[in-house]
Amino acid sequence: MASTEPRGPRQIWNALIWSLKGLRAAYRVEASFRLELYLCVVLLPLGLWLGHGPVEKVLLVLTPVLVLSAELLNSAVEAVVDKVSPEFHELAGRAKDMGSAAVFLLMLLVLLTWGLILGGRLLG
């Protein structure tokens, strides 16, 4: 059965609107997302300024953006889990903890990336 969804520019426009709604919702209700966004506002221009060459710049910019992306996915998982299972359940708790762990690992990646790039420059 063929989809009745609009194709082409209209579909791209709709996807943009839905994405912006998701970002707005995350900013409004998720304190962790706001904090990580504020860090990105500082780290992205800093990464572009401090990176030597395109590879360093991409790494310094990409890693904080990955944290934001994971935070959005983690928030989505938490919202669905809370909707489906408002009472505590071991699997629900595990899903939420795993989402949080993904964000944490990416934060460690930010620290490692920035530390190796900038620390290596200071030491070498």
**Is 21 a known ligand-binding residue?**
no
What six digits make up the tokens of 15? 């996807």
Q: Which residues are tagged catalytic?
A: 71
* Amino acid, res. 107: M
**Is 88 a known ligand-binding residue?**
yes
**Is 100 a known ligand-binding residue?**
yes
**Is 56 a known ligand-binding residue?**
no
Nearest Cα residue to 57 out of 11, 102, 119, 117? 117
**Is 75 a known ligand-binding residue?**
no
**Is 89 a known ligand-binding residue?**
yes
Bind-site residues for substrate: 71, 100
Bind-site residues for a divalent metal cation: 30, 78
Bind-site residues: 30, 71, 78, 87-89, 96-97, 100
Bind-site residues for ATP: 30, 78, 87-89, 96-97
